[in-house]
Structure formats: structure tokens, C-alpha cells
């Protein structure tokens, strides 16, 4: 595991350039740098899911193998960066591309819908080949997409909703500030809906991970709108701000862990305190996600990341996100708690190597098929 963490650090920081004193990476929120940051997170999210499968505390003790423990509780933070970058990218495209909203649904939303269903159908086939018993009703629900065969595809459902909110808000509001305000309203209503639904194993909105970081999407819009002013503030306050945000992130992480033991996202549906407690947990985690994302971008303001691996991963982040999960399950102690896995790899470094070795070609195949299936949206 020591060797693994060394390799991981090298993969992220190889080719990085640190700015000299009083100098900055002024491209820290450019398309290239945000893609590279997404490449880093695309590398870390599979490790998060492998950690959940191998050493999460909710498993029976006989299945817990330590090594990736640090990645167990950080999934919502990694996805928060995705959401923030999505907000930045959409707003910048709106302001730099002529008639950006014209054909937006076909160009930006339809490809995501196709990716969702493509991943769903792949997972249905894989689950059937693994020997999972599915009734005709189960198959119909999976084919409809309302019940998810690929549990990681929740992110796609959420981002599709918010792309729609973005399109409607900026299409019908004359002022950017008004449009962003409405997206914040949609965000709060979305979180309220998630808290009201609670935990369930059928439909969408299956748990808090659907909404405990979604606030970063509209915050990304705000950041892009005021990028120059925010960047100027970051530079002036950097010696104090950067260490302060690190300390704040650590504090909010432990506060989040404490709040979830006191209030919890879990509770009886007929208990009037369940929704307020869930929203209280969500609020603390929103603050944590904001602080963590700020640390990421303050870091990029001084350190320019970039190498071929991160560039490659940054170009297929969604594809890798959708494909890696089935290999996490295939080589874990079971497959989605339904059937035995192909082979249980208890050795954590070997587990990591095998999952990535299988995920990379699957990602490439998915990428090729998806791009061909969405060629009509580019015309």
C-alpha cells in the first residue's frame, strides 16, 4: 500500500509546476486546468468506491480489509468538484459562444440521457450474465431507467436535472443574477425533496448522496460570473486564506461526522424531525463541500497540474465514472449483494490494479460507442 500511495502521488503531481512567489497560475480555472482537476477526481472516485467495498465500517468484520480507509468518506467531496466545474463551464460557454442556448437540449442534455441509458443497458446485461435473478417486472423497470441498474449513474440523473434548470433559467430570465437565484431555489427544493424521500431502494433519490453536494453547481455559476473579482481576492488574501480553508475543511469534516451521529440522515418517515435533521446534516456537508472545493482551486492558483495521464482521464471522466463500478463489484466480496463475484480479490493493491486494468478498456469502448450514438446531436 505504501508503494500504491507513492504511485498515486506521482500520477497526480508528475509534471506539476509551482508558481514562484508573487506569481500565479492564471489559468487555474481554464478549461484545460479544470479538465485536469476532473482527471484527478476521476482517478480518486474509483478508489472511493473500492474503499467502500473493502473497508467501509458497515460491512461484516470478515470482509473488512484496510488500506483505502482514507477514501471511504470522501465521495461527496469529489463529486462536489465535478458539480462546481460543470457550473463554471456552462456559464463561460454561455458568455463566450454565440447563441449557446439555441439547441442546448440537443447538444448538451440529450447526449447525457443517451449515456445514462447506455450505461444502464450495459449493467442490465452484466447483472444478468453474473447470474442475478430478475423478474420481467424488474427488467422493465431497469429498461425504463426509473430503477437504476448502475447505482453510480445517480450523478447523471442529477446533472441532467440541473442542466435543464440552467437552460430554463437563462432562457427565461433577462438578468444573470435572477437566473442563478432561481437555480439556487431549485437546488434547495431538490434537497428538500431528497430529504423527504429519505432512503429507499427503488426509484431515484435513493439517499443523501443525491443532494449533499449539489449546492456546488450554482456556486460554480456564481464563481464564473465574478471570476475576476474572486481571483483578485484570492491573490490578495492567499497567505491567510489558503491555510484557513484547509483548517476549515478539516473542522467541517469532523463537525459533519459528529452531526450525522447526532441527527443522522436515517429516520422514520412518520417522524416530523427526520426531514429537519436530514437538512441539518446536508447544510453542514454543503459547507464542507464548499470549503474543500475552495482548497482545490486555491491550490491550483499556485500549482499548475498537468501530465498525459491526467489529460487523458480528464477527457473521459464521465465514461470512467460510469464504467468502473461493475469491476469494483465483480472483484469484491460479492456482486451488488445479489450474487457471488467473479473472484474475490482480498489483496487491496491487487484489487486496485485489476479494477483499473478492466475499467480502462471498458471506458474506451463506452466512449467510442457513446460518441457514435450521439453524432446526430452535433449537427
User: pLDDT digits over 176-205, tens only?
Assistant: 999 999 999 999 999 999 999 988 888 888
| pLDDT (0 to 100) of residue 379 | 66
**Grid coordinates given for 70:** 482514507
Q: Give residue-wise pLDDT tens across range 79-122.
A: 999 999 999 999 999 999 999 999 999 999 999 999 999 999 99
DSSP, residue by residue, 57-105 = TTS-GGG---S-GGGTT-HHHHHHHHHHHHHHHHHHHHHHSTTTTTTHI
Q: Are the C-beta atoms of 130 and 335 separated by less than 8 Å?
A: yes
Whole-angstrom Cα distance, residue 85 to residue 27? Answer: 14
User: Which residues are 339's β-sheet partners?
Assistant: 335
Q: How far apart are CA 187 and CA 162, in angstroms?
A: 8
- The overall average pLDDT reported for the chain is 93
Q: How far is CA 80 from the centre of its chain?
A: 6
Pairing of strands 303-304, 17-18: antiparallel
Measured distance CA(135)–CA(284) in Å, rounded: 41
3-state secondary structure of 339: strand
How do residues 116-167 score in pLDDT, each as one tens digit? 999 999 999 999 999 989 899 999 999 999 999 999 999 999 999 999 999 9
- pLDDT-derived band of residue 266, with 50, 70 and 90 as boundaries? confident
* Least confident span in 11-20, 58-67, 73-82, 269-278: 269-278
Query: Residue 2 — very low, low, confident or very high, per pLDDT cuts 50/70/90?
Result: confident
pLDDT above 80 (res 270): no
Q: Sorting pLDDT into bands at 50, 70 and 90, what band is 229? A: very high
Sorted by sequence, the CB contacts under 8 Å of residue 10 that are 6+ apart come out as none
Largest pairwise CA distance in the chain:
64
Instruction: Give the dihedral of Cα atoms 26, 32, 38, 39; nearest 10 deg.
Output: -120
Grid cell 484557513 is found at: 244
When pLDDT is cut at 50, 70 and 90, the band that residue 42 belongs to is: confident
Q: What is the pLDDT of residue 198?
A: 87
Question: What is the band of 72 on the pLDDT scale with cuts at 50, 70, 90?
Answer: very high
pLDDT band at 337 (very low <50, low <70, confident <90, very high): confident
Q: Please state the pTM of the whole predicted model.
A: 0.94
- For the chain, percent helix, then strand, then coil, each to nearest 5? 70, 0, 25
Identify the weakest region by mean pLDDT among 79-88, 282-291, 307-316: 307-316
Neighbouring residues of 292: CB distance < 8 A, sequence distance ≥ 6 = 77, 80, 81, 249
Residue 210 CA to chain centroid, in angstroms? 10
Quick one: which of 105, 39, 41, 125 has its CA closest to 76? 41
Percent of the chain with pLDDT over 70: 99
Amino acid at each position: 500500500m505504501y508503494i500504491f500511495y507513492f504511485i498515486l502521488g506521482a500520477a497526480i503531481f508528475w509534471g506539476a509546476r509551482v508558481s514562484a512567489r508573487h506569481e500565479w497560475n492564471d489559468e487555474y480555472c481554464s478549461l484545460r486546468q479544470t479538465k485536469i482537476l476532473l482527471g484527478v477526481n476521476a482517478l480518486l472516485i474509483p478508489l472511493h468506491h473500492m474503499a467502500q467495498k473493502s473497508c467501509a465500517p458497515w460491512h461484516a468484520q470478515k470482509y473488512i480489509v484496510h488500506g483505502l480507509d482514507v477514501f471511504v468518506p470522501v465521495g461527496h467531496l469529489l463529486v462536489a468538484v465535478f458539480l462546481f466545474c460543470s457550473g463554471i463551464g456552462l456559464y463561460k460557454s454561455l458568455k463566450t459562444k454565440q447563441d449557446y442556448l439555441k439547441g442546448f437540449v440537443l447538444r448538451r442534455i440529450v447526449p447525457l440521457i443517451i449515456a445514462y441509458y447506455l450505461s444502464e443497458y450495459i449493467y442490465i446485461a452484466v447483472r444478468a450474465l453474473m447470474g442475478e435473478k430478475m423478474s420481467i417486472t424488474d427488467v422493465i423497470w431497469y429498461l425504463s431507467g426509473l430503477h437504476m441498474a448502475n447505482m453510480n449513474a445517480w450523478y447523471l440523473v442529477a446533472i441532467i436535472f440541473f442542466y435543464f434548470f440552467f437552460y430554463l433559467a437563462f432562457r427565461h430570465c433577462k438578468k444573470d443574477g435572477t437566473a442563478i437565484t432561481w437555480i439556487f431555489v431549485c437546488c434547495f427544493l431538490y434537497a428538500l425533496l431528497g430529504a423527504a424521500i429519505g432512503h429507499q431502494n427503488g426509484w431515484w433519490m435513493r439517499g443523501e448522496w443525491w443532494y449533499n453536494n449539489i449546492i456546488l453547481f450554482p456556486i460554480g455559476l456564481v464563481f464564473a460570473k465574478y471570476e475576476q473579482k474572486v481571483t483578485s481576492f484570492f491573490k490578495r488574501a492567499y497567505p491567510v486564506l489558503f491555510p484557513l480553508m484547509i483548517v476549515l475543511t478539516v473542522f467541517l469534516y469532523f463537525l459533519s461526522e459528529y452531526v450525522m451521529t447526532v441527527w443522522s440522515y436515517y429516520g422514520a418517515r412518520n417522524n416530523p424531525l427526520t426531514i429537519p435533521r436530514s437538512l441539518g446534516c446536508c447544510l453542514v456537508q454543503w459547507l464542507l463541500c464548499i470549503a474543500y472545493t475552495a482548497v482545490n482551486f486555491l491550490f491550483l492558483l499556485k500549482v499548475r497540474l498537468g501530465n498525459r495521464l491526467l489529460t487523458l482521464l480528464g477527457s473521459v471522466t464521465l465514461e470512467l465514472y460510469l464504467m468502473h463500478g461493475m469491476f469494483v463489484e465483480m472483484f469484491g466480496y460479492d456482486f451488488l449483494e445479489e450474487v457471488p463475484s467473479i473472484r474475490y480479490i482480498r489483496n487491496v493493491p491487487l484489487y486496485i490494479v485489476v479494477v483499473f486494468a478492466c475499467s480502462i478498456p471498458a471506458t474506451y469502448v463506452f466512449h467510442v460507442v457513446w460518441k457514435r450514438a450521439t453524432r446526430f446531436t452535433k449537427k
